[in-house]
């Protein structure tokens, strides 16, 4: 739309129409003490060419693309096949918005249907929604879904202390004003303590949630926890890394009622922490308690295959008091990338990727723990990341390694004050033996100065 310059008479007429005398009256509710006074000292405008040159200069100061990534803590440097970029950036996908007349968007609905089918198969569950914001909101929505399905008035939600602390924080934010009690299950050796859970048993528990791999990268045996949850009349929620399911038993295989987690590792880049997507799958018994959208496949009157929104239980679609959630947005493009990634790799490809992650991480752990005064924080099996205990403040070493072009961390002191000497380190299928050895040498050199 072309710019239109209004005359003083036009402005006066518009102000009169909306019932004010001058433009200043529009801002009367803003206190004087917080208003900017004086002239904005803005730089002179730039041409397109000059602006691009300026942006390139600023971008060149960013070193992230020049280093080697061993970052963990919930976001990982996995390989993304070129076909994922090529297909997901087609115009009909890349610029698509929420289909408010969904049946007219058959292509997007088919993508969601295929995504749901693959995520249900991957997690060993019966139904899947069309994705959520991220792993943190996935846990929160899963817990509230369990509460809704259980129909308990003032329930307790029991979550393992080894679930990512940021996921737990999101859950507590969601439930703060709902009359729901969120309680943490203590740990033993870095994993959820079944004996501690048994002491917390009670018929008022709506659900029990635990993660494997957990926030320390440790693989947990969740089957006893699921059995304990069911014994107290609660549902069990498994938080999983979907890449790990190429090797590990899926949540549906050990009795989980709901499975959730962060899907970033499936075809999505780290992208400075987002946007990513959360997945949510469950037993079919709980389909009417599931938040978000569920796409189904059907036939029209002539027998032609088509796709429809079977459920759309967000508050903007139905009455608010009947909605399962009011903020469970579907991250369509990120979920599309996951569907493309899984279709390209197939079961064998995902199994090989998971196997490489596990082997590279164990090789990295072996090499780093050979450095004097460095050891693994916990014993036990781990998948693609682990907690490494250092003889000093971990955040300091993380900063020093970054100056060498090696990105590790985060420091567990960010979430666990008694673990300020411990950092998380991850190795995906992208890390080479040469990069692993470079990390060991850099860590050894930095610790000589501590």
Give the model confidence (pLDDT) of 146-175 as tens digits.
998 988 878 999 999 999 999 999 999 999
CATH, domain 82-342, list 3.30.70.1150, 3.30.559.10, 3.40.640.10, 3.40.50.200: 3.40.640.10
Q: Given strand 385-389, what is the order of strands in its sheet?
A: 375-376, 385-389, 422-426
Q: Where are the domains of the chain?
A: 66-79+346-447, 82-342
Residues of the chain with pLDDT under 50: 1-3
Could you identify the residue written with the tokens 């709506």? 206
Q: Where does residue 39 rank: exposed (0-12), middle (13-18), buried (19+ CB within 10 A)?
A: exposed
What whole-number distance in Å separates Cα of residue 416 and Cα of residue 238?
Answer: 22
How does DSSP classify residue 132?
B
Q: What is the pLDDT of residue 1?
A: 40
Could you identify the residue written with the tokens 């115009």? 91
Q: What is the pLDDT of residue 352?
A: 98
Q: What is the pLDDT of residue 361?
A: 98
Alpha-carbon distances, residue 257 vs 149, 190, 333, 347, 408 (angstroms): 11, 24, 27, 23, 35
Six-digit token pair at 421? 């000497």
Domain 66-79+346-447 and domain 82-342, same fold? Reply is no
88 in Cβ contact with 106 (< 8 Å): no
Nearest to 265 by CA among 242, 249, 281: 242
What whole-number distance in Å separates Cα of residue 291 and Cα of residue 144?
Answer: 9
What whole-number distance in Å separates Cα of residue 178 and Cα of residue 344?
Answer: 42
| DSSP states of 298-337 | EE-TTS-EEEEEEEE-BTTTS-GGG-SBSS----HHHHHH
Q: What is the pLDDT of residue 98?
A: 63
CATH fold group of domain 66-79+346-447: 3.90.1150
The CA-CA-CA angle for residues 307, 308, 309, to 5°, reads 140
Q: What is the pLDDT of residue 313?
A: 61
Q: What is the pLDDT of residue 322?
A: 65
Core vs surface per residue 115-139: b (16+ CB within 10 A) or e: bbebbbbbbbbebbbbbbbbbbbbb
Q: What is the pLDDT of residue 2?
A: 47
117 in Cβ contact with 125 (< 8 Å): no
């Amino acid at each position: 739309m072309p710019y239109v310059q209004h005359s003083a008479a036009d402005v006066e007429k518009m102000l009169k129409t909306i019932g004010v005398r001058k433009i200043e009256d529009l801002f009367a509710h803003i206190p004087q003490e917080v208003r900017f006074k004086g002239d904005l000292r803005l730089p002179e405008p730039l041409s397109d060419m000059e602006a691009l040159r300026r942006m390139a200069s600023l971008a060149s100061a960013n070193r992230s693309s020049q280093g080697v990534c061993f970052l963990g803590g919930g976001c990982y440097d996995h390989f993304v096949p070129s076909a994922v970029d090529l297909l997901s950036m087609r115009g009909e996908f890349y610029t698509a918005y929420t289909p408010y007349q969904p049946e007219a968007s058959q292509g997007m609905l088919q993508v969601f249907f295929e995504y749901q089918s693959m995520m249900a198969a991957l997690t060993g569950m019966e139904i899947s929604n069309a994705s959520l914001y991220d792993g943190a909101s996935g846990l929160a929505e899963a817990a509230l879904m369990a509460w809704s399905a259980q129909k308990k008035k003032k329930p307790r939600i029991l979550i393992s202390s080894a679930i990512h602390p940021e996921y737990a924080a999101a859950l507590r934010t969601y439930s703060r004003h709902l009359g729901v009690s969120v309680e943490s299950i203590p740990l033993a050796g870095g994993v959820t303590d079944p004996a501690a859970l048994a002491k917390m048993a009670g018929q008022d528990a709506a659900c029990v949630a635990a993660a494997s791999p957990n926030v320390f990268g440790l693989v947990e045996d969740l089957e006893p926890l699921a059995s304990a949850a069911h014994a107290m009349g609660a549902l069990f929620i498994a938080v999983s890394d979907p890449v790990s399911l190429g090797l590990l038993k899926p949540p549906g295989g050990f009795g989980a009622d709901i499975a959730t987690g962060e899907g970033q590792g499936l075809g999505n880049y780290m992208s400075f922490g987002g946007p990513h997507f959360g997945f949510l799958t469950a037993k079919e018994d709980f389909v009417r308690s599931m938040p978000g959208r569920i796409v189904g496949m059907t036939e029209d009157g002539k027998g032609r295959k088509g796709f429809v929104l079977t459920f759309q239980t967000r508050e903007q679609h139905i009455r608010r008091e009947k909605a399962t959630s009011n903020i469970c947005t579907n991250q369509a493009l990120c979920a599309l990338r996951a569907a493309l990634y899984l279709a390209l790799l197939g079961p064998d490809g995902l199994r090989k990727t998971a196997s490489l992650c596990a082997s590279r991480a164990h090789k990295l752990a072996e090499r780093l723990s050979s450095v004097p005064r460095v050891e693994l924080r916990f014993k036990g099996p781990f998948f693609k990341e682990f907690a490494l205990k250092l003889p000093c403040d971990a955040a300091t070493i993380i900063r020093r390694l970054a100056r060498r072009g090696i990105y590790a961390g985060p420091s567990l002191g960010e979430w666990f004050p008694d673990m300020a000497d411990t950092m998380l380190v991850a190795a995906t299928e992208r890390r080479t033996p040469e990069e692993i050895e470079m990390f060991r040498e850099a860590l050894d050199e930095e610790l000589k100065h501590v």
